């Protein structure tokens, strides 16, 4: 039975996250439905690199699929795309070693969060409209405090008694692309709601409700403040999952979707 590595993009708006659940529509669930339809098999495994929460999107989620089929990887990709909903797309499919594991072999992950500084008709499902002016320099100062190995207990609903809440954050970058502000966060792994709470804290710094020196304090203490500041799911994208030997250089990504440029009517 071959093992396929699948790279997928999806708009998470209509889904209750990646992981299959009873009585809920999930991305993994619709992928499994497509595999059944395309291969005629009931026994197979689809295993993702990690969960994404309800409403969260992915530009390059990775999963491995074990299924008995004679289809070549490209044919499998094309047939899956023919039956998948339009908001879930298999970008790439490749046969890999059975030693490859989508979650355990991942060495880092990068998330992107999109803010918009004005109301936009095109980006509401994909960005958080922050109405107040943002001090991006203060946000960048606060972001520096997240870099390194820290205990993110106050930034997750995961129970510290059940799993470690210590996470290595390797980079936090803030970039302006009018009318968007893009926050990229790269690390070894991420806890439930962690990225959205990091973003919420940084936005509060940008608004002036917190100062940059509050960020290390929130990391040191068990505080309810990050939970109260959790950013909406709509602006969050799983941007990249990295595996051994892959380049870690981040490309300058454009906002999604990019709103049309405003043109002033010409005068004759």
Domain boundaries, position 34: 3-96
Which positions ≥6 away from 268 have C-beta within 8 Å? none
Residues 228, 124, single domain; the answer is yes
Residue 124 maps to a domain: yes
pLDDT in tens, 136-195: 999 999 999 999 999 999 999 876 667 899 999 999 999 999 899 999 999 999 999 999
- Provide the CATH number for the domain around residue 59: 3.30.70.580
Residue 256 maps to a domain: no
Which positions ≥6 away from 70 have C-beta within 8 Å? none
Residues 60, 179, single domain; the answer is no
Residues 87, 160, single domain; the answer is no
Which of the residues are catalytic? 53
Helix axes 136-144, 194-207, angle to 10 degrees: 140
pLDDT(251) > 90: no
Across the range 197-209, mean pLDDT stands at 98
Residue 189 maps to a domain: yes
CA dist 209 → 132, 213, 215 (Å): 11, 12, 12
> Contact at 8 Å (CB) between 234 and 13?
yes
Higher pLDDT, 268 or 36: 36
Residues 187, 91, single domain; the answer is no
Residues 32, 60, single domain; the answer is yes
Beta bridge partners of 19: none
Burial (CB count within 10 angstroms: exposed 0-12, middle 13-18, buried 19+), residue 129: middle
- Provide the CATH number for the domain around residue 228: 3.30.70.660
């Amino acid at each position: 039975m071959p093992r396929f590595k699948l790279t997928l993009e999806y708009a998470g708006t209509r889904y209750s996250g990646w992981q299959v659940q009873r009585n809920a529509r999930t991305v993994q669930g619709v992928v499994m439905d497509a595999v059944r339809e395309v291969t005629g098999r009931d026994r197979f495994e689809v295993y993702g690199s990690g969960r994404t929460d309800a409403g969260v999107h992915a530009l390059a989620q990775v999963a491995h699929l074990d299924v008995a089929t004679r289809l070549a990887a490209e044919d499998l990709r094309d047939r899956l795309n023919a039956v998948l909903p339009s908001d879930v797309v298999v970008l790439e499919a490749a046969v890999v070693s059975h030693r490859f594991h989508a979650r355990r072999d991942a060495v880092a992950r990068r998330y992107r969060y999109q803010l918009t500084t004005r109301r936009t008709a095109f980006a509401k499902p994909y960005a958080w409209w922050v109405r107040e002016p943002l001090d991006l320099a203060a946000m960048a100062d606060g972001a520096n405090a997240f870099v390194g190995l820290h205990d993110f207990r106050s930034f997750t609903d995961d129970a510290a008694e059940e799993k470690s809440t210590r996470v290595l954050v390797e980079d936090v970058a803030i970039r302006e692309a009018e009318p968007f502000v893009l926050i990229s966060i790269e690390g070894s792994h991420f806890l439930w709601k962690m990225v959205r709470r990091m973003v919420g804290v940084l936005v509060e710094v940008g608004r002036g409700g917190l100062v940059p020196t509050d960020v290390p304090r929130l990391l040191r203490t068990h505080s309810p403040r990050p939970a109260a500041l959790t950013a909406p799911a709509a602006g969050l994208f799983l941007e990249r999952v990295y595996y051994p030997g892959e380049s870690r250089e981040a490309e300058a990504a454009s906002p999604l979707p990019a709103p049309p440029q405003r043109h002033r009517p010409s005068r004759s």
